[in-house]
A and B are shown apart, each in its own frame.
Chain A
Amino acid sequence: MTSSVINTQPRLRQQTKVKWLKLLKPGLCLLPFAVFFYLFQLAPMLWVVVNSFLVEQSWSLDHYHEIFNSSFIQQGFRNSLWLATWSSVIGLAIAVLLVSSLRRINSKIRDGVIAFTNMSSNFAGVPLAFAFIIILGVNGALTLLLKQYGLIDSFNLYGQWGLLAMYVYFQIPLAVLLLYPAFDALKDDWQDAAALLGASSWQYWRRIALPVLSPALLGTLIILIANAIGAYASVYALTSGNYNVVTVRIASLVSGDLFLEPNLAAAISMVLMLILAFITLINQWLIARSYHAKS
């Protein structure tokens, strides 16, 4: 017995070595993927992180100081956050309304609506901005219609309300697509059970459906906010870069015709990422407090 134990020891080591070699070849299959991912995703991120702290090749917080001293950059952040928050909340509310009703409707119509939503999620960026100019621009059909009925005096599509309308428009399809599967968690029996126990439709939503859905709602909200803060194409195309949001600020510092300041752009990017990280953390904390974590 003892001899066999002694014999197996070197054998075992040999086997682990063989096992390691066996995994080398499949590991190599991961390499091209890793290289490309590094070159086009990780390396640019790292560049941003490092260079946000560099002024003329030496470490410094000057760029961050500049951000805190520039009311122009801060206005960009304020505008971005305002648009992101309101467009996300409104978009989410509309999506909840749509999805909850969708589940109670003829399945053919439902599939049609989902297919349409899928498609309209691609109606964003430059084409969307053009479409908005057509209906809500100075001579847009809807603007004229509303003017004729005396509902508005004029509508400035190129200001915050016009942008908000457009942001809400591109948030809705995304929110619907993210929420639709989450509503599977709601069992139809619950509403019947609640009704038999004397709860009204509103009470069912308030006490049962919303708490069950809260993690999904919070998760969707965070994606919407990130989506809106990062939006660039639509606002750039609508206002030709004249409305001050943070992505336009960053882009103008790296691709404008004059005053290129990539390192300041990196610092603004870092603050933007930190804000997103902070929102995500609050979100995680809220999800952890929801009933899922307590079970």
Chain B
Amino acid sequence: MPKANVNSNHSAIWHKTVVYGIVSVMLLPILATLVYSLSSSWGATILPDGFTLDWYGQLLSDPRFLAAFGRSLLICSASLALSAILVIPAIFVVFYYFPKLDKLMNLLILLPFAVPPVVSSVGLLQLYADSAWPIVGTPWILIGTYFTIALPFMYRAIANSFSAIHLNDLMDAAHLLGASTFQAFWLIVLPNLKKGLLASLFLSFSFLLGEFVFANLLVGTRYETLQIYLYNMRQTSGHFTSALVMTYFLFVFLLTWLASRFSAKPAAISE
């Protein structure tokens, strides 16, 4: 923890200036969007003319918006459910039976980071456009690709939960007390992953909701998700799109807040 430094008064002012300065600049686009979404009109002036909630009213009564939002929620939930079902057993098997594979897995989960989505799209479009499994243009291909985007985050979070427990000792203890491997996994391992898992799920949800590249290139308007809808609305009123952006951002805020609540460490109460 930071100690009071030699010339503390002088440097404290400097550090505060730096932090507040950078944070204000970072806040600027968000606040501007907020103000824009609340202003009745804001033309060629520095400050808006008046305030209104009309844009939000318009947005929330637009069935196209509600449908797009619903589609996004559906796809994100489905992708995360798929990821959880695929990743949790895989990590358990890696950690418990093949610990040497962890290194390989750590390399593999870098791929979704290292290969830009645009590049993956090139291959995905050709592989699944006219094949025996024509899923381009359907939500199915998004669910599959979103699994790869969520994978690094989910793997790291769950792997961290695994390293935090003495997995082998816990399994041994459960076995000696008469539990089968499946019982031990279900009753002991899974409950201990809950926090890390939930945190990573909310976090993944928040950035899957903002995913545009795959949605635009692989599916586009054929299954309009929130981001596609947002992009397609670019020609309409800027106030309307601002209200849209802020609604989206509010949702992301909620998700990241939930994620941080679950990732907070429990306070140890030793007696």
A and B touch in the complex (CB under 8 A): yes
Residues of A that sit less than 8 Å from B by CB: 23, 26-27, 29-30, 32-33, 36-37, 39-48, 51, 94, 97-98, 101-105, 107, 109, 113, 115-120, 122-128, 130-135, 139, 141-142, 144-145, 148, 169, 172-173, 188, 191-192, 195, 201, 223, 226, 229-230, 232-233, 236-237, 247, 250-251, 253-255, 262, 265-266, 269, 272-273, 276
Is the Cβ of B26 less than 8 Å from the Cβ of A172?
yes
Quick one: which of B29-59 are within 8 Å of A by CB?
A: 29-30, 32-33, 36, 42-47
Q: Kindly list chain A residues whose C-beta atoms are within 8 Å of the C-beta of B241.
A: 130
A16 to chain B, nearest CB (A): 16
**A113/B230 contact (C-beta < 8 A), A23-B97, A123-B249, A226-B113 known:** no
| B residues 169-226 touching A (CB-CB < 8 Å) | 206-207, 210-213, 216-217, 220
The answer to whether B119 and A272 have CB atoms under 8 Å apart is yes
Of B6, B114, B122, which one neighbours A250 at CB under 8 angstroms?
B122
In the complex, the chain A residue whose C-beta lies closest to that of B85 is: A32
With A32-B86, A48-B119: A126-B29 Cβ-Cβ less than 8 Å: no
Chain B 110-155 residues near chain A, CB threshold 8 A: 111-127, 144-145, 147-148, 151
Q: Name, among A33, A134, A142, A201, the residue most crowded by chain B CB atoms within 10 Å (CB to CB).
A: A33
Instruction: Decide if the interface of chain B is mainly helix, strand, loop or mixed.
Output: helix
Residue B94, interface by CB 8 Å:
yes
Contact of B116 among A101, A124, A237, A247 (CB under 8 A): A247
Q: Are B18 and A39 in contact (CB under 8 A)?
A: no
Chain A's closest residue to B255 (CB) is A122
B112 shortest CB reach to chain A, Å: 6
Give the 9 A-B residue pairs with the shortest CB-CB distance, closest first. A44-B123, A230-B116, A47-B123, A131-B29, A233-B212, A33-B90, A101-B15, A101-B18, A269-B119
Q: What would 19 more interface pairs be, CB under 8 Å, given A98-B23, A101-B16, A130-B230?
A: A26-B93, A26-B96, A32-B89, A37-B148, A40-B124, A47-B126, A101-B14, A102-B19, A104-B5, A120-B30, A131-B242, A134-B238, A142-B32, A226-B116, A230-B117, A233-B227, A250-B122, A251-B118, A254-B125
Evaluate contact between A169 and B26: CB separation under 8 angstroms.
Answer: yes
B78 at the interface (CB under 8 A from A): no
CA distance A144 to B227 in the complex (A): 29
- Pick 17 A–B contacts, CB within 8 A, sort by A: A26-B97, A32-B90, A40-B148, A41-B115, A42-B111, A43-B123, A43-B127, A44-B123, A48-B123, A105-B12, A120-B30, A125-B227, A134-B36, A134-B242, A139-B43, A192-B5, A273-B119
